[in-house]
Amino acid sequence: MGDYFKGREFVLPISVEELEARRVSVGASDVAAIMGLSPFANAHDIYLQKVVGTDQGGGNEAQNLGNDCEPMLVIWADEQLGNRNPDSLVEVDKKFTKLVEEPDGRVLPAHANLDGFSIYGDQRVGIEAKTTSMYGVFGEQGTDEVPDHILVQAQWQIFVADLQRVVIPVLHGDGNLRRSFYIVHKNEEIFEGAKAKVLSFWNDHVIPKVPPTEVLPSLETMTNLRRQPDSTVEVSEELVRSWLVTRELKAQATKDERDAKAALMAALSDAEGGTCSLGELSYLKQKRASYTTNDTEFRVLRWKGHKK
């Protein structure tokens, strides 16, 4: 990777110190959640992260894979752009901060963490690498046809880091592994709309510590929320009953599914497949390879419905 990384490690876990630093300002990925555009979080999640704090989770396989692919995508995007200022290398994991000050006295601390940053010609450019398995959410390569939450994220990065554009290299895993890149230019209208929403959120909720009531926080946020040792609060009996009822329904549904599956397999008897007017059923052997133990064989019940 040579000069691209100046001898620095690219993929690093977020430290406790960095998590704490992010709590006191709004980052680019926070903005889409505050605006109700993010598929990963909402305004209540961001409120709790800022006001109460959350412990860092280990991340799922998709998130970890995305982090691992970032260096490759940053290098590829740099190669596509070309014409880089000879005095400027691609810096990775670059952090920027800015204080928004409004005439009415409201202030908003902001930050942006870029996967890559450099100067191409006379333009400051950010690189935001993405990995996705979602089909059809990105448009024509070379355009700004990206999902709304990424578009808003890029506009926030442009503002905070004083960029002219953000390049978004994407690794698609939607059945045909491929790379593409998109370019988001500065758009004052989009940014001003986002800024107004975030300013209200910060000054109406975070500063006075008043949680938003329009949405519930995600289960992931509540799982990682920092808690006070030996503390107890009163909770609504209605909420407890609702949880107990849904838990019982889930247990009953699991039992009913197992019983229905057992009845269906009993109808198969010793056959490896079955048919009906709806489609075909198979119960064939499948092998699982292992590097530490012997390979194992097991059967999987699969259904293939007839096309209508």
32-57 pLDDT per residue, tens: 999 999 999 999 999 999 999 988 76
Asked if residue 234 belongs to a domain, the reply is: no
Instruction: Determine contact, residues 18/61, Cβ cutoff 8 Å.
Output: no
Q: What is the mean pLDDT of the chain?
A: 88
194-213, pLDDT tens digit by residue? 999 999 999 999 999 999 99
Residue 9 lies in a domain: yes
263-275 per-position pLDDT tens digit: 999 999 999 999 9
In a domain, 231, yes or no: no
- Which are the contacts of 4, defined by CB distance < 8 A and separation ≥ 6? 74, 75, 78, 89, 90, 92
Residues 220 and 269 both lie in one domain: no
DSSP state of 52: T
Residue-level pLDDT at 58: 57
8 pLDDT higher than 70: no
Domain presence at residue 229: no
Question: Does pLDDT of 233 surpass 50?
Answer: yes
Domain span at residue 266 reads 262-308
| Residue 242 belongs to some domain of the structure | no
Confirm whether 64 is domain-assigned. Answer: yes
CA 102 to mean position of chain CA atoms: 30
pTM score, two decimals?
A: 0.80
In tens, the pLDDT along 85-142 reads 777 888 988 999 999 999 999 999 999 999 999 999 889 999 999 998 887 899 999 9
CA distance linking residue 57 with residue 13, whole number of Å: 10
Q: Do 288 and 213 lie in a common domain?
A: no
Same domain, 181 and 278: no
pLDDT at 21: 64
Residues 174 and 294 in one domain: no
pLDDT cut 70: percent of the chain above it:
89
**Number of structural domains, the chain?**
2
Same domain? For 117 and 214 the reply is yes
pLDDT, residue 143, reads 95
For residue 7, name the pLDDT band (cuts at 50, 70, 90): very low
Q: In the chain, what percentage of residues exceed pLDDT 90?
A: 68
Residue 39 has φ and ψ, to the nearest 5°, of -80, 0
* Residues 38, 177 within the same domain: yes
Give me the CATH number covering residue 185. Answer: 3.90.320.10
If asked whether residues 94 and 198 sit together in one domain, one would say yes
Q: Is the domain of 91 the same as that of 218?
A: yes
| Residue 246 maps to a domain | no
Helix H or strand E segment including 51: helix 43-51
